[in-house]
Amino acid sequence: RTSYIEKAMKAQSHHQLNVLFLPYPTPGHMIPMVVTTRLFAKHGVSVTIITTQANALTFQKAIDVDFSCGYHIRTQVIPFPADQVGLPDGVENIKDSTTPEMLGQISHGILMLKDQFELLFQDLQPDCIVTDFCYPWTVESAAKLGIPRLFFYSSSYFSNCVSHSIRKHRPHESLVSDTHKFTIPGLPQRIEMTPPQVAEWERTKNETTGYFDAMFESETKSYGALYNSFHELESVYEQLHQSTLGIKSWTIGPVSSWVNKDDRQKANRGHKEDLELEPQWLNWLNSKQNESVLYVCFGSLMRLPHAQLVELAHGLEHSGHSFIWVIRKKDGNENEDSFLQEFEKKMKENKKGFIIWNWAPQLLILDHPAIGGMVTHCGWNSILESVSAGLPMITWPMFAEQFYNEKLLVDVLKIGVPVGAKENKFWTSLGEDAAVGREEIVKVVVLLMGSSQESKEMRKRARKLSDAAKRTIEEGGHSYNNLTQLIDELKSLKISM
Ligand code: UDP
């Protein structure tokens, strides 16, 4: 005999949308996807995140809180093949690699998870899967199950449009020299770049080119795409992307400020350890005037060569402005350790600078009134977080599509000052030299943090975008409407299936 409760639960599960989320284990992809999962749960969807143990630890507390509030949200943990790829336990995220070899081992371990993922798709029988763009094979998994796959892209529409144009037209190949600029074909605005700024796998065909081609091709074969961006930020490129690719996309960002409302959530987002109650950086920032401090961070992955750290240290010191600098260290460089320790000590004494090692609570820091700008590597999440906080940026792109994002900030939105980075390289293939000298650093810091008309106008534009970022996620805003429309569409699709 079926009880009343069982019947009611069956009826509910029949109507309730059940969505699986598959994030790629690197903070720039995982953080926004976990937040998106929570957003779906808060809008009545039953959601499951699939990941490995060490990765789950970076966000599980937030999931537990949501669950205890009555949302249908859970994490499904699968084992990471640490032994098989020769890694110590707990090293399961791209950001954990401190050597190029480790990077290869972690990536290989992630690839090996495919069979376990597919088995879970079959077991859990979702109505839809939302998968990171790094898992192109999930298009076929969804087709086998007869359900939609949504492509989750963790960067801008703008960068995807540029990337699409470069892959299609290969404009950089017609130039005689690497210092000549080319114009990106097919964009509504004139955007110029030099060949070395193009992503490595797009500039010349190499072993990863095919992998990336498959990722982007999988977008066109998906039911649609999810973009953590917002209409008011890049509507022209949202439209261009939709008309070029001919698939649906939903613009639902900035997801982070939509979900991480209180300080505790902001502080502990994306990180295993809890933040101390009265962190030193907070006391230090509280002692500073409004908008007087520059926040310097190159994302979750980048590790700078020693010579570049030295140039940056001198540049920051000589700029005369206060700063908080997040440094991710490399293994075993004693020379570097002693230089940085000395520098940290000096900055503490003269109260000019504060160093945070390895991981900073970025959302909290950017929200602090003493922060007046950010030096960013142009990772998309950092850009959205800086824009949400209404801060202009010094742009210092390093790898992947970051040079494209720089163009959006500098040429389109006009809220960025370029430091003059010239070459697209991940930290594992960087040489020993400094790419940017201390004089250039001083120049851009003085320009951004000073009181010039140019800086005031950038600040004004950044504040306007911050207001738009707040409105778009409120009831009736573009992103809000897009999310609810998507959920309604997936529900009617479920009923019709
Ligand atoms: N992040 C952070 N603390 C750090 C470094 C990074 O909270 O010390 C977060 C940052 O706020 C952002 C993400 O990690 O949400 C990094 O993503 P992004 O796209 O900016 O760059 P990536 O790390 O992918 O290069």
Q: Can 132 be counted among the known catalytic residues?
A: yes
Rg (CA), the chain: 23
Q: Whose CA is nearest to atom 3 of ligand 1?
A: 360
Q: Is the pLDDT of residue 339 over 70?
A: yes
Q: Give the residue, by CA position, lying nearest to ligand 1 atom 7.
A: 362
Banded pLDDT at 12 (limits 50, 70, 90): low
Q: pLDDT per residue over 124-143, tens digit each?
A: 999 999 999 999 999 999 99
Going by C-beta distance under 8 Å and a sequence separation of 6 or more, which residues neighbour residue 61? 268
State in Å: Cα 398 to ligand 1 middle.
14
Catalytic residue among 66, 127, 132, 241: 132
The answer on pLDDT for 414 being more than 50 is yes
337 is catalytic: no
* CA 7, chain centre distance (Å): 42
Average pLDDT for residues 47-67, to the nearest whole number? 96
Please compute the mean of the pLDDT values over residues 214-236 and round it to a whole number: 96
Residue 426 has pLDDT above 60, yes or no: yes
Give the position, in ligand 1's atom list, of the atom nearest the Cα of 326. 8
Confidence of residue 342 (pLDDT cuts 50, 70, 90): very high
Torsion of the alpha carbons at 311, 313, 314 and 316, rounded to the nearest 10? 120
* Mutational test site, ligand 1, from 97, 304, 362, 391, max ligand atoms within 8 Å of CB: 362
Which tens digits make up the pLDDT trace of 297-322?
A: 999 999 899 999 999 999 999 999 99
Q: Above 90 in pLDDT, residue 438?
A: yes
Confidence at residue 1, expressed as pLDDT on a 0 to 100 scale: 45
Atom from ligand 1 closest to the CA of residue 155:
19
**Residue of 29, 72, 172, 231 marked catalytic:** 29
The Å distance, Cα 382 to ligand 1 centre, comes to: 6
Crossing angle of helices 27-42/380-388, nearest 10°? 60
DSSP 434: -
Give the confidence band of 14 by pLDDT, cuts at 50, 70, 90: low
Q: Does residue 280 carry a pLDDT above 90?
A: yes
pTM given for the model: 0.95
Average pLDDT, whole number, for the chain? Answer: 93
Dist. CA 358 → ligand 1 center (Å): 11
Residue 408's contacts (CB-CB under 8 Å, 6 or more residues apart) are 156, 158, 159, 234, 237
Q: How confident is the model at residue 271 (pLDDT cuts 50, 70, 90)?
A: confident
pLDDT at 278 exceeding the cut of 80: no
Q: How confident is the model at residue 270 (pLDDT cuts 50, 70, 90)?
A: confident
Three-state secondary structure call for residue 394: strand
d(CA 202, CA 162): 11
Please give the Cα distance from 134 to 26 (Å, whole number). Answer: 11
Instruction: Give percent above pLDDT 90 in the chain.
Output: 82
Nearest CA to ligand 1 atom 2: 362
| Ligand 1: centre distance to CA 383 (Å) | 10
What long-range pairs does 115-121 form, CB within 8 A, spacing at least 24? 116/78, 116/79, 117/22, 117/50, 117/78, 117/141, 120/20, 120/50, 120/76, 120/78, 121/20, 121/145
pLDDT at 428: 82
For residue 111, the CA-to-ligand 1 centroid distance in Å is 23
State mean pLDDT over 461-473.
98
Average pLDDT over residues 466-494: 97
Answer whether 448's CB lies under 8 Å from 215's CB: no
**Cβ contact 133:218 at 8 Å:** yes
Across 467-482, average pLDDT? 98
Query: What digits encode the pLDDT tens for the residues 355-399?
Result: 999 999 999 999 999 999 999 999 999 999 999 999 999 999 999
pLDDT tens digits along 233-254: 999 999 999 999 899 999 999 9
Best probe residue, ligand 1, of 55, 382, 404, 409 (max atoms within 8 Å of C-beta):
382
Average pLDDT over residues 326-351: 87
Strands 149-153 and 46-52 turn out to be unpaired
- Residue 84's pLDDT is 96
Q: How far is the centre of ligand 1, averaged over its atoms, from the C-alpha of 299 (Å)? A: 4
CA-359 nearest atom, ligand 1: 8
Candidate of 301, 327, 381 to mutate for ligand 1, largest count of ligand atoms within 8 Å of Cβ: 381
- Mean pLDDT value across residues 340-356: 96
Average pLDDT over residues 110-115: 97
Ligand 1, pocket residues at CB < 6 Å: 27-28, 31, 270, 297, 299-301, 326, 359-360, 362, 379-382, 385
Locus of tokens 């796959």: 149
* 164-178, 375-389, 436-450, 479-493: least confidently modelled range: 164-178
